[in-house]
Amino acid sequence: MSRKNKLTGKTFEYIEVTDVGAEGKAIAKIDEQIIFIPFGAPGDIVDVYITKHRTKFLEGRITKIRKESQLRVEPFCEHFTICGGCKWQHLDYKQQLKYKQKQVTDNLQRIGKVGYDYKINPIIASEKTQFYRNKLEFTFSHQRWLYDEEIKQDEKVKNPEGLGFHMPGYFDKVIDINKCWLQPEPSNEIRLAVKKLAIQNGYSFFDIKNKEGFMRNVIIRNNLAGEFMVILVVFSDDQEKIKTILDHLDANYSQVKSLYYIVNSKKNDSLDNLEPVLYKGDPYLSETIDGLKFNIGPKSFYQTNSRQAETLYKIAGTFAGLSGKETVYDLYTGTGTIANFLAGKAKTVVGIEYVDEAVEHAKENSRMNGIKNAAFLSGDMLKVFNEEIFSKHGNPDVIVTDPPRAGMHPKVLEQIKKTNAARIVYVSCNPATQARDIELLSDMYKLKEATPVDMFPHTQHVENVVLLERV
């Protein structure tokens, strides 16, 4: 029998957890082989069951904690370890920040190959570590995830429906959420009220496998002023059912200023090509950053931690070093938040974004704030960010980029180099792909400064802003 088969399914006792690594999992070693373990803390002494054997590492789960690490704290959420959303609740927040800073530094050194001739600032902590999100999306399921105790019962589960988050690793399983600590109240109250009302009226919850059932999703957005937007996603345009749900929310929650619904009769959950219908209230929620007002619609992209968003944009502005004479290009501009934020300090700002609707929102945000020196273009970055645009709007002096988690396409990086821009400000929610792109730019641009920002407490995710200067 191979060593691989000998290790899989085995339990090893008294293993010391030494570090935190990929995807927020804890790191230990068995016979000099690295093992990744969820929900461990450096300093733990644990028994580990081996679940998978990869070529270069093992994966396992803790079956018993022999000695708890001093870094551990008591998790506050009843769904911890099941939901998968806040994997670091068991770690003291200061330690979370330490490991996020380490993640950024390690990626820059190992993947970015940047050396040590740059400044990395201490990570900026989130003022709020609970109830900090401004958007959550919940999924209805006709058959929720069942816990071990329920499965062991012979009798049929009385309330099989669920409304919550997808079980990690299962597209067709939804965890019924009682209380989520990510979004302020009345988020939980609204979600539970919608679920209760749907059950009372016999509205069917969506069957993810067979693609049938009326109730599909509910999306809840909020702003710092305490106002809420609710978007109900249903399978068919049954106005009586839609009216029952949304009228109940309108009558009982004064904080809800905007009510939408979306009819999604497709097999997938994507809402990209579907039109939200304003049922009642305001079409937007508004947020203010540094004196600028931004309207947020049902499908708008906006940083999910509003308080930290302002911090993030101010860092980007500082790194851009604008004097009022520069032409700035904001790549992957979304609804133009960074572009409009920088417009008052630049000669011209040009934002480029793939999603047409986001570009229209960016233009509206400019008009609303009286910004006249910002232009926004929609289209594929490879096709739009080229010499034709430069001839019309000018060559960039500064490039700001905030791409998706996958980072930038190599051809976009080549086009950036052709512009000969003096500075690049790169905002990223994935320091690994950011570091990869920095390395690909390194023949023309040198990393000068980096500032990590914690947008997502109790998770392994970290935002990072870097300044690159032309060599």
Active-site positions read 429
State the Cα–Cα distance between residues 176 and 164, nearest whole angstrom: 5
Contact between 103 and 433 (Cβ < 8 Å): no
Q: Which of 247, 234, 268, 253 is nearest to 189 (CA)?
A: 253
Contact in structure between 36 and 26 (CB atoms under 8 Å) = yes
Count of Cβ atoms closer than 10 Å to residue 436 Cβ:
19
d(CA 402, CA 320): 13
Ramachandran sector of residue 14 (left: φ over 0; alpha: ψ -120 to 50; beta: rest): left
Are 260 and 245 spatial neighbours (Cβ–Cβ below 8 Å)?
no
Helices in 321-467 by DSSP H: which ranges? 337-343, 356-368, 381-384, 387-393, 410-419, 431-441
User: At residue 335, what are phi and psi to the nearest 5 degrees?
Assistant: -90, 20
Rounded to whole angstroms, the Cα distance separating 33 from 55 reads 10
Residue type, 154: D
Asked if residues 83 and 175 have their Cβ atoms less than 8 Å apart, the reply is yes
Instruction: Answer for the pair 54, 25: CB distance below 8 angstroms, yes or no.
Output: no
Largest CA distance in the chain: 73
Q: In what order do the strands lie in the sheet with 174-176?
A: 174-176, 162-166, 135-141, 215-222, 228-234, 256-263, 277-281
Kindly compute the dihedral angle of the four CA atoms of residues 228, 231, 237, 243, in this order, to the nearest 10 degrees: -20
In angstroms, the CA 232 to CA 72 distance is: 39
Using only C-alpha atoms, the chain has a radius of gyration, in whole angstroms, of: 24
Which region, left, alpha or beta, applies to residue 213 given φ > 0 means left and ψ of -120 to 50 means alpha?
left
Non-local (6+) Cβ contacts of 32 within 8 A are: none
For the chain, the first-to-last Cα distance in angstroms comes to 56
Q: Which amino acid is at 391?
A: S
Residue 128 and residue 121: Cα distance in Å, rounded? 20
